[in-house]
Amino acid sequence: MVRPSAKVVLISAIASGQGKTTTTAALARKLVKLGKTVRVFKTGPDFIDPMMLERACGSPVHSLDLWMVGQAGSEGMLARAALDADVILIEGVMGLYDGNPSTADLARAFGVPVVAVLDASAMAQTVGALAMGLRDFGPVHLAGVIANRIASEGHANMVAAAMRDIPLLGSLRRQEEALPERHLGLVLPQEVDRIEAILDAMADSLELDMQAWNALPDTSVELREHASQHVSQSAANLAGKTIAIARDAAFAFIYPANTECLIGLGAELVFFSPLADEAVPPQADALYLPGGYPELHAETLTQASNWLVSLRAAHAKGMPILAECGGMMAITEGLVDQQEHSWPMAGILPGKVIMQKRLAALGAQALATPQGELRGHTFHYSRFETTLAATSHTIKHATQQQGEAIYKLGNVRASYFHAYFASNPAATAAFFLRDAV
């Protein structure tokens, strides 16, 4: 049995907002500039951070999650990455011990050492106390700390002196030009001016103790035969089918594992841009409208006549359509944005979507299907007001309470639920088959 190995570290923190993504991106870019082959993963469901991390390391960034992806699936992705990577970085989610399963659970499941990113902007010696608390509470193997938002060399020295037996692997100076954010997280990298220069500057400002870094041991991960396959015996369910996928700044929330799953099921994928007023490709047998930011591009989508006409025609002829979150928003009668401007959408689903400042829903959820449980998550700042009755609901993983509504109209399935296709390929295939929808 193959046991590939690489230097694997899980980058975590005491909470959100400590600079995990900035530090992970800076470290990845720095190691790439040093000639290392770097692969990055993101803990838990996320679309936006992985896009930024992909720009930093140059390779697609997949999710690792003991529940949504599963332990075998996560293990398989880690092992395959270790076959050709020198370094594997895993960015955690929230605080180290938050959630069930937590980032700490993932680290312990695969024997991965943790590197804590601690915001030192308003402290010095207390960083050492926080580090010891993170290490001992679990416990976890805390391999070191990267102190973020350091003001000066003297500040870094005070932090280092307080670390006792925990290595200070590095420090990151306060950034003059930080990664910009908005309501769902970071701004998409393709929308950030000078993104490559910003990433390079972040890497250059990361002071890394190379002796301490090189002393970190490699981690081996077992490459099991069952863990190497995303798609089960349903592998030919979509053979000969062409699935059109909307992909641009308005429809950007696509797991790399989702497209890989569809390809593994035998589908041919064609991508198109509603923002560029591209029509649904005429050869498509089914349509996937993923989430994204339609609310930020509502005016452009409203004026995209080719897109709207072709979408309505696809629905009229019974094409299977899966619309997730932002994709669902785009096929309603209208969207009311944060400025209370109302924009007409495709009008396939009755009702309108209203943006709000308060978070509407967040968390892991599962959908019961005839093929078994399909796992995923939800994260949105809007509500859908409709007369259309839900045909079913997801179940919240944390509480087992009712989650997001699932709407069905003809061959359209729509919801705020973002599905992780590889958690149930057979259920995924059914979404895109005319007779199964």
Phi, psi of 393 (to 5 degrees): -140, 155
| Closest listed residue to residue 327, CA positions, set 406, 219, 246, 269 | 246
Q: Domain for residue 436, yes or no?
A: no
Tell which of 165, 189, 220 closes a domain: 220
d(CA 195, CA 193): 5
Q: Domain for residue 56, yes or no?
A: yes
Statement to judge: residues 390 and 421 lie in one domain: yes
Structure tokens at 38: 């770097």
Taking the chain (437 residues) in consecutive chunks of 10 residues, what is each chunk's mean pLDDT? 83 93 96 97 93 94 97 94 95 94 96 95 92 94 94 91 92 76 68 85 94 91 58 70 98 97 97 98 98 96 98 98 98 96 98 96 96 97 97 96 97 98 96 77
Structure tokens at 72: 């075998």
Statement to judge: residues 197 and 247 lie in one domain: no
208 bridge partner residues: 170
d(CA 268, CA 243): 6
Would you state the pLDDT for residue 182? 59
CATH number at residue 80: 3.40.50.300
d(CA 44, CA 94): 10
Residue 356: CB atoms within 10 A of its CB come to 13
Would you state the pLDDT for residue 177? 63
Q: Could you write out the three-class secondary structure of 257-294? A: HHHHHHHHCCCEEEEECHHHCCCCCCCCCEEEECECCH
Q: Domain for residue 385, yes or no?
A: yes
pTM for this entry: 0.92
How far, in whole angstroms, is CA 409 from its chain's centroid?
28
Beta strands in 87-141 (DSSP E): 87-91, 114-119
Statement to judge: residues 271 and 410 lie in one domain: yes
d(CA 381, CA 186): 15
Residues across the chain: 437
d(CA 247, CA 292): 9
For the question of residue 325 being annotated catalytic, the response is yes
User: Could you list the residue range(s) of the whole structural domain that residue 347 is in?
Assistant: 231-431
Inter-axis angle of helices 48-57 and 20-33, nearest 10? 20
Q: Domain for residue 65, yes or no?
A: yes
Q: Domain for residue 225, yes or no?
A: no
Catalytic residue selected from 81, 93, 321, 325: 325
Bridge-based pairing of strands 242-246 and 268-272 is: parallel
Structure tokens at 87: 């370094």
What's the helix, strand, coil split of the chain in %, to 5?
A: 30, 30, 40
Would you state the pLDDT for residue 227? 44
Q: Domain for residue 226, yes or no?
A: no
What is residue 87's DSSP assignment? E
Statement to judge: residues 177 and 257 lie in one domain: no
d(CA 361, CA 45): 14
| Closest listed residue to residue 142, CA positions, set 114, 162, 105, 109 | 114
Phi, psi of 234 (to 5 degrees): -85, 20
Would you state the pLDDT for residue 173? 87
d(CA 329, CA 19): 31
| Closest listed residue to residue 237, CA positions, set 28, 416, 431, 62 | 431
CATH number at residue 403: 3.40.50.880
Statement to judge: residues 258 and 176 lie in one domain: no
| Closest listed residue to residue 44, CA positions, set 378, 406, 367 | 378
Statement to judge: residues 362 and 417 lie in one domain: yes
Would you state the pLDDT for residue 434? 79
334 bridge partner residues: 344, 352
| Closest listed residue to residue 230, CA positions, set 115, 365, 42, 73 | 73
